[in-house]
Amino acid sequence: MNPYEIEIAKYERRLRAIEEKPSPTMLASNKLLYRAEMEENIEQLKAWREGKPFLAGAIMGEILRSFGDYHLVPLVGIADRLGSKRAEQYVDKVRAMGLPDYACDRTILFLPLAVMEGELPKPQIIVVSTGFCEVINDSHRTLARLLGVPVYGVDVPFEDPHQPHLDYVVKQLEGLIEWVEATLPGAKYDETRQVERQKYAHRFEAALHDIYKLRQHVPCPDHPRDVFREPTGPGGFTNPELITEYYESYRDELQERVKTGFVPVGEEKLRIVWAISGPYGSNIWDYLAERGVSVPYWHYGQAARNFFKPTYGDTTEFGRKLTPLEEGARQMMYNSWAGNGERWIKDTLFACQEFQADGLVIFEQTGCQPVLGLGQLTADRLEKEIGIPAWRIEGRMLLGRTERTEDEFMSGLEAFINLCFERKKSR
Amino acid sequence: MAESAENRLNRLVQANSEENRYEWARKWKAGGKPVAAMLCSYVPREVLYAAGFLPWRVTGVWSEATPLALLYRPSWSTPRNTRILELALRGDLDFVDALVGTDWDIDLKRLWDEWTALKSPKLSHLMFVPRFTTELHQATFRQSIAKLLAEVEASSGVKVSPQALNQAIRLYKEMRELIQRMYELRKRETPAVSGAEALGITTAALVMPPEEFNTELKALLPYLETRQASLASKHPRLLVSSDFLDDLRYLELVEDTGCVVAMDDLDTGSRYFMTGPEESATDPLMALAKGYLARTGCPRMADWDEQINQVIKWVKEFHIDGVLELRLNYSMIRHMRSPFLKSAMEEAGIPFLSLPREHHFANESQLRTRIGALVEILQAA
């Protein structure tokens, strides 16, 4: 089975399971998410079989979708969903290709898949960008060379947006438009299409903002497992409506939970913020829920932007309404792990305060360059400025996951949670 | 008695050795002038020099363990940056008045973050360096250089005039020209200097006051014209490609296997010195931006084809028999480019070997075996 078929089967199973035995602690709106994901996979598989054109890019979908009816191969998402067993097979191939196996799992594992005929559609062009995870930028660039497809890069400065840098990114996006139209037969940039897409993005971000706001509530109305789910915006979907509805419905459900006092972890005894990544598919979230530990906030590169940075339509930052391309550019410039280290540390500390955390888990994903070396600095500042402990733990989301590493991780987590309880008592 | 030219050359080659490299900074400071530590070859030294700083490229600790830095940096980070942080945390770099880093890659950016957070140098500046070289990117790099200039002016209290900038550009241009003349002498059948000596000279240029370096090399060039490097073998001729390579022992080891390193593709060597900024009566900052972006790029730049083509050009120009890539461990972007360098070399019919290396001199036996095998094959060819 190719990755699309595997995903479709997975979501069918999940939807069936929800129908047959809905979990009392998980969100009912997850059904919408699984449906949206399943439909997107069906859509992409169909398009691939019909020979329709695909693009790939480490850049916002809203822009790439403004050129026409193109499908986007979600390479990082595909790597995320490989599962540990397949991930181990693919990392062997990464080594055989002469590429670094110490890069973060999700940034490289798609490379062998994407170059193997019959596994994934070949994109006609690849667009890359710095300003978020640069390893993803580099691995997409590498893929373009491996596949022999044209690549365009947008260079995003690491400082917070200011007018000259906004102009710099906008000019590169204008260059992207010219390049795509010249490179991709039939492609024509349509601003109306981008504006339409941005409306969905705006709805998505507004709902997401409310979701984060609701998670601040004590006790937290969201289950740790749902919090640790990377939001995928409508830009990643051929049909944006259903996924946007999912986020709105998710928000409504959390609102209802707050109203009725439903807390998925039972009595909330502790709140921790989780940072960077985590071991996929492990039972940590259920373990935390069983111990009455909420995880109101998962902090990763884009999380702060989802919650407390200026969003679509904001006029306060530049004192005026931005053009569609400027809006796109601004979104590319706010990523917690694209700036200097202080940006990441400040955003982490801010989140811990805002979400009233009793502790912070820093899951230092092997090969995650954006946060390389910031763990101890963050932990020290957290202790000094907020007075809560941090647990730094290095691990991988997919690779090297043995029974022993899982046991070690769980016993470390248990010890840290115990510490947080003790510290909370003494505060 | 006047010092022999050979002794003088040896002193220059050893100017960035672990024993000597601090001396230049100490002397400069003794004159009441500040020292700026540079973390990367994209920092425009001319700006720092024009503001009265000694632009001093930092080399990590070579000979000892890194217990302090490892509290902060994971095992998979580049050892060069870990070894620099160790020095900073040990207090060995406390004399530095300004720290200037770039976003060469995230690893280097994070070294800057760590040093800044833990040691709070008087001035600490992180420069944005575009990854592309078009006019738009040059103009943005110009802004970035202007920002650095404003910070060093504020810190030093020295207002840098366009004339002073041009004077610094002229001085470093002279340095580049002198080094280029030395590189010319590497084209000979028996090069005037070994690869290790050439690296010694170029790394000396990165820590010595520029006038002093220029005086020394200018005085030595007539001697180099007549000199033949003492080498175990003149054949095969290798080009070594790497980043942040500053420990001469790596090239001594390579040459010790029975070859000569007749050319390099190093940011501490040809990539920095073979081209550079020109003076500009109207806009010296733009001249710097153009000059620094026009040089042969490090792998972090997007123009991989041009970088690789330049290596091929050097192979022809310097009569190279094979290319040896010494990848700095955990340098992700170098590692990602590596398969393409390999395939381009294969396509061009150039024998190629890529090996990982530490920052400090290590894994000697393994490297000797692998490089020795390449050399043997090339000798037999």
Whether B136 sits inside 8 A of A134 (CB atoms) is: no
C-alpha R_g of chain A = 21
3-state class (DSSP) for residue A162: coil
Closest among B322, B332, B321, B324 to B298, alpha carbons compared: B332
User: For A171, how many CA atoms within 13 A lie in the half-sphere containing its CB?
Assistant: 13
Whether B106 sits inside 8 A of A369 (CB atoms) is: yes
B133-176 pLDDT per residue, tens: 999 999 999 999 999 999 999 999 999 999 999 999 999 999 99
Mean pLDDT rounded to a whole number for chain A? 94
| Chain B residue closest in CA terms to A175 | B136
Could you please state the CATH topology (level 3) that the domain comprising A3-188 is classified under.
Rossmann fold (3.40.50)
C-alpha R_g of chain B = 20
Pairing mode, strands B322-328 and B260-266? unpaired
Whether A175 sits inside 8 A of B136 (CB atoms) is: yes
Closest among B275, B291, B266 to B145, alpha carbons compared: B291
Query: Is the pLDDT confidence value at A44 over 90?
Result: yes
Q: Where are the alpha helices (DSSP H) in A236-299?
A: 240-260, 284-290
- Please report the beta strands in chain B, taking only residues with DSSP state E, as ranges in sequence order: 35-38, 54-57, 98-102, 123-127, 237-242, 260-266, 322-328, 352-357
3-state class (DSSP) for residue B104: coil
Average pLDDT over residues A181-189: 96
> How far, in Å, CA of A414 to CA of B292, rounded?
52
Could you please state the CATH topology (level 3) that the domain comprising A193-426 is classified under.
Rossmann fold (3.40.50)
Query: Is the pLDDT confidence value at A74 over 70?
Result: yes
B129 in contact with A, Cβ within 8 Å: no
Given CA atoms A211, A213, A215, A220 in this order, what sign does their dihedral have? negative
A370-427 pLDDT per residue, tens: 999 999 999 999 999 999 999 999 999 999 888 899 999 999 999 999 999 999 999 8
| B114 vs A contacts (CB less than 8 Å) | 341, 373, 377
Q: Tell me which H or E stretch contains A351.
A: helix A341-354
Pairing mode, strands A151-154 and A126-129? parallel
Contact B310, B360 (CB under 8 A): no
Share of chain A above pLDDT 70, in %: 100
Give the distance, in angstroms, between the CA of residue B163 and the centroid of all CA atoms in the same chain: 27
**Contacts A–B by Cβ distance under 8 A:** 99
> How far, in Å, CA of A147 to CA of A125, rounded?
10
> How far, in Å, CA of B138 to CA of B134, rounded?
6
The residues pairing with A364 across neighbouring beta strands, listed in sequence order, are: A394
B251-266 pLDDT per residue, tens: 999 999 999 999 999 9
| Cβ contacts of A407 within 8 Å, gap of 6 or more | none
Query: B99 vs chain A: nearest CA distance in angstroms?
Result: 15
Average pLDDT over residues A48-74: 91
B182 in contact with A, Cβ within 8 Å: no
Cβ atoms within 10 Å of A136's Cβ, excluding its own: 24
Question: Which strands make up the sheet holding A390-395, listed edge to edge?
Answer: A293-299, A270-276, A359-365, A390-395
Question: DSSP class of residue A157?
Answer: -
A174 in contact with B, Cβ within 8 Å: no
Q: Mutation test of the interface with chain A: which of B83, B106, B304, choosing the one with the most A Cβ atoms within 10 A?
A: B106
Whether B114 sits inside 8 A of A364 (CB atoms) is: no
**Domains A3-188 and A193-426 fall in the same CATH topology:** yes
> How far, in Å, CA of B187 to CA of B191, rounded?
6
B77-116 pLDDT per residue, tens: 999 999 999 999 999 999 999 999 999 999 999 999 999 9
Cβ atoms within 10 Å of A282's Cβ, excluding its own: 18
> How far, in Å, CA of A346 to CA of B113, rounded?
13
Res A306: pLDDT: 77
Q: Mutation test of the interface with chain A: which of B78, B113, B342, choosing the one with the most A Cβ atoms within 10 A?
A: B113
Report how far apart, in Å, the C-alpha atoms of B208 and of each of B35, B200, B205, B217 are.
Answer: 11, 12, 6, 12
Contact B133, B291 (CB under 8 A): no
Report how far apart, in Å, the C-alpha atoms of B264 and of each of B108, B200, B238, B272 are.
Answer: 22, 12, 8, 11
Query: Is the pLDDT confidence value at B1 over 70?
Result: no
Q: Mutation test of the interface with chain A: which of B39, B86, B109, choosing the one with the most A Cβ atoms within 10 A?
A: B109
Residue A204 binned pLDDT confidence (cut-offs 50, 70, 90) = very high
Q: Is A423 exposed, middle or buried (0-12, 13-18, 19+ CB in 10 A)?
A: middle
Give the distance, in angstroms, between the CA of residue A22 and the centroid of all CA atoms in the same chain: 26
CB-CB: which of A165, A175, A376 is closest to B72? A376
Closest among B257, B236, B258 to B318, alpha carbons compared: B236
A364 in contact with B, Cβ within 8 Å: yes
**Overall residue count recorded for chain B in this entry:** 381
Average pLDDT over residues A71-84: 93
Both tokens of A247, joined, read: 């986020």
Domain boundaries, chain A: 3-188, 193-426
pTM of the model: 0.96
Pairing mode, strands A71-72 and A151-154? unpaired
Whether B72 sits inside 8 A of A98 (CB atoms) is: no
Closest among B85, B167, B77 to B119, alpha carbons compared: B85
Contact B116, B124 (CB under 8 A): yes
Closest among B376, B331, B183 to A367, alpha carbons compared: B331
Residue B232 binned pLDDT confidence (cut-offs 50, 70, 90) = confident
| B303 vs A contacts (CB less than 8 Å) | none
> How far, in Å, CA of A231 to CA of A250, rounded?
12
A377 in contact with B, Cβ within 8 Å: yes
Q: Which residue has the tokens 């090996």?
A: B355
| B74 vs A contacts (CB less than 8 Å) | 364, 366, 372-373, 394
